[in-house]
């Protein structure tokens, strides 16, 4: 069996790569993908804890996280398309005002 | 044997994530994210969570990646970052902060006094732990309320997307 701590460490590394993606990239779509990456790394930690404790709660929570992530991606991409309609860019440095 | 599978999938996951952040073309980023999600799905299988393995492949690798690719191609955002960075100093700062976060994670995981769950290697347990039938039973008994709330969230997302699109059409009509 693989020790739980390896999974948690992998999850931490993936989370940090996601954080770096959010901080460094300027393309709003790639920033979005990095957020998905962070959600996934948290899911991985949750599943490994569920396995370590032999309790189903962690897996159920991951199920809900995946559902909410799907809804979030749908709304977020719709927002991006709307912003693109007025600003004609997906560079987040250009989108610095709240006006539509 | 399991450790070998773990190391291979972990390496693929980290490589995919790194390449996603580093690649210039947003389409390549989406495909590297797909690679990463596939590797994590293999890890779910290794953790005896076949239901989540299927959900991960269907929802993430199927629906969400397709949505991303669709949006990237629709907006023509493959190369949105070709022009010069106006706040270039924030990139090294971000790297330093990321490394700090990594150091913190390593400290917390490997050196700080930790809970017993992390210290113990995960015991094998029942083979059918996390089987779809058990998840279904839990989902429709103990977790029934959150399950129903999820449907409200999905409905809100659908309504939100439709409203956003309608307003865009109206503003175009007014111009």
Look up the ipTM and state it.
0.92
Out of B85, B97, B143, name the one closest to residue A60 (CB).
B143
Alpha helices in B47-131 (DSSP H): 50-55, 65-75, 90-106, 116-119
The pLDDT assigned to A37 comes to: 95
For the stretch A5-57, pLDDT in tens is 899 999 999 999 999 999 888 888 999 999 999 999 999 999 999 988 888 88
Strand partners, A27: A91
Q: What is the 3-state secondary structure (H, E, C) of B148-170?
A: HHHHHHHHHHHHHHHHHHHHHHH
The pLDDT assigned to A65 comes to: 94
The pLDDT assigned to A60 comes to: 93
Judged against a pLDDT cut of 90, whether residue A1 lies above it is answered with no
Q: A70-100 b/e with 16+ CB inside 10 Å = b?
A: bbbbbbbbbebbbbbbeeebbbbebeeeeee
Candidates B88, B97, B84, B76; CA nearest to B25 is: B76
Neighbours of B132 (CB within 10 A): 15
Q: Which residues of chain B does A18 touch, with a Cβ-Cβ cutoff of 8 Å? A: 17
Q: Across the interface, do A84 and B75 touch by the CB < 8 Å criterion?
A: yes
Out of A1, A4, A66, name the one closest to residue B124 (CB).
A1
8 A C-beta contact, residue B46 and residue A51:
no
Residues 6+ apart with CB under 8 A from B63: A70
Q: Across the interface, do B20 and A80 touch by the CB < 8 Å criterion?
A: no
Q: Across the interface, do A91 and B98 touch by the CB < 8 Å criterion?
A: no
Note whether A51 contacts B: Cβ–Cβ < 8 A.
yes
Note whether A94 contacts B: Cβ–Cβ < 8 A.
no
**CB < 8 Å from A in window 116-145 of B:** 117-126, 129-130, 134-135, 138-139, 143
Cα angle B161, B162, B163 (rounded to 5 degrees) comes to 90
pLDDT by residue, tens only, chain B of 175 residues: 889 999 999 999 999 999 999 998 899 999 999 999 999 999 999 998 999 999 999 999 889 999 999 999 988 877 766 677 777 788 889 899 999 999 998 888 888 776 655 655 555 556 677 788 989 999 999 999 999 999 999 999 999 999 988 876 676 666 5
pTM score, whole prediction: 0.89
For the stretch B106-131, pLDDT in tens is 888 888 776 655 655 555 556 677 78
Out of B40, B52, B80, name the one closest to residue A91 (CB).
B80
């Amino acid at each position: 069996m693989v020790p739980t701590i390896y999974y948690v460490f992998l999850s931490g590394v993936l989370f940090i790569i996601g954080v770096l993606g959010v901080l460094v990239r300027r393309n709003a779509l790639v920033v979005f993908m990095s957020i998905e990456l962070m959600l996934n790394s948290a899911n991985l930690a949750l599943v490994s804890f569920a396995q370590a404790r032999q309790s189903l709660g962690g897996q159920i929570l991951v199920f809900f996280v995946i559902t909410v992530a799907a809804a979030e991606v749908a709304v977020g991409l719709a927002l991006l398309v709307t912003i693109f309609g007025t600003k004609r860019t997906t560079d987040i440095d250009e989108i610095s005002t709240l006006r539509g | 044997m399991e450790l070998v599978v773990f190391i291979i999938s972990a390496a693929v996951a980290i490589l995919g994530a790194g390449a996603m952040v580093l690649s210039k073309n947003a389409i390549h980023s989406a495909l590297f994210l797909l690679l990463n999600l596939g590797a994590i799905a293999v890890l779910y299988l290794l953790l005896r969570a076949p239901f989540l393995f299927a959900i991960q492949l269907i929802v993430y690798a199927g629906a969400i990646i397709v949505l991303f690719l669709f949006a990237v191609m629709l907006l023509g955002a493959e190369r949105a970052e070709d022009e010069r960075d106006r706040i270039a100093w924030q990139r090294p700062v971000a790297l330093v902060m990321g490394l700090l976060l990594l150091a913190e994670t390593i400290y917390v995981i490997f050196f700080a006094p930790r809970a017993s769950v992390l210290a113990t290697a995960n015991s094998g347990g029942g083979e059918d732990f996390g089987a779809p039938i058990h998840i279904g039973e839990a989902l429709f008994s103990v977790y029934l309320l959150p399950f129903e709330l999820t449907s409200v969230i999905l409905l809100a997302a659908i309504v939100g997307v439709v409203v956003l699109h309608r307003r865009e059409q109206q503003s175009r009509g007014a111009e």
